[in-house]
Structure 1
Amino acid sequence: MFTKDSGLLQGTLELLVLKTLSWGPMHGYGIASWIESATGDVLRVEEGSLYPALYRMTRKGWIKGEWGTSENNRRAKFYQLTREGERQFREQTTGWERFASAVTSAVGSTRAPAWAR
């Protein structure tokens, strides 16, 4: 599991938040819960990482937050994508897919570099 000290890359967390919010508005706890569930409990986003990311993304204009009432009848800030956030999600998804494919290719390679032969 990844925690705030494990080196989960800032950009990766932002992409996961954007993905979560692509389903619709959600509060912080719901965002963290969805990420954990969607990754099969491999990634756990702690409050100390999530809320600074939400603040950063709000400043960038990717998301906006409004106060509302959660399903537990508690006051919570619900975040949603802006148009810029939707654009960022598309752009970052494409970049992530290219990056993940390249890393998977390198890690799965059976061809040693010339200097190692």
Structure 2
Amino acid sequence: MTFREDLEALVLSCLSTGPAHGYELSKRIRSLSQEALSVAEGKLYPALHALEAEGDISAVWVPQGNKPPRKVYELTEVGRKTLRRKQAEWQAFARGVGSVLQNGVTEWKLVK
């Protein structure tokens, strides 16, 4: 199976709605998935660093008054292209899984 998870696609999609820091991205993923998905920091930050290294996102440190600055991530034009590609790949994958789940039992009974 090609897709076990695609955290990078989720991050890119969440950043398509606007810049965010890591904790905000985690909240967006949880909220947009209707609480079905939860991303641990140990997975989120390596994904953010990889996306930044690939040029899909950019980051700036934003001061917060008396608190430490936050690193805020933003989708780049390269990231928008990557997101469109990942969306198309995911839709094809979802159609394939849907087809197997809807037709597999019927087809198996016919072959058997």
Please give the TM-score of this superposition, normalised by the length of structure 2: 0.86
Residues 54-104 of structure 1: per-residue CA shift (max 9 Å, x gap): 01111111001101146xx65210000111001101111111111111111
The reply on whether 1:36 has 2:46 as its aligned counterpart is no
Q: CA RMSD in A?
A: 2.2
Q: 1:90 aligns with which of 84, 88, 111?
A: 84
SS in 2 for 1:79: strand
Code of the aligned partner of 2:108? P
Identify the residue that residue 3 of structure 1 maps to in structure 2.
none
- What is the aligned residue count? 108
Code of the aligned partner of 1:39? S
The reply on whether 1:112 has 2:107 as its aligned counterpart is yes
The reply on whether 1:64 has 2:58 as its aligned counterpart is yes
Identify the residue that residue 16 of structure 1 maps to in structure 2.
10
Residues 20-74 of structure 1: per-residue CA shift (max 9 Å, x gap): 000111000000100001111111000000000001111111001101146xx65
Which structure is larger by alpha-carbon Rg, 1 or 2? 2
Q: How much has 1:114 moved relative to structure 2?
A: 7.2
**Partners of 1:74 and 1:20 in 2: how far apart?**
24
**Partners of 2:23 and 2:69 in 1: how far apart?**
12
Q: Which structure 2 residue ranges, 5 or more long, are not aligned?
A: none
Q: Give the fraction of aligned pairs with identical amino acids, expressed as a percent.
A: 35
Identify the residue that residue 53 of structure 1 maps to in structure 2.
47
Which has more helix, going by share of residues?
Answer: 2
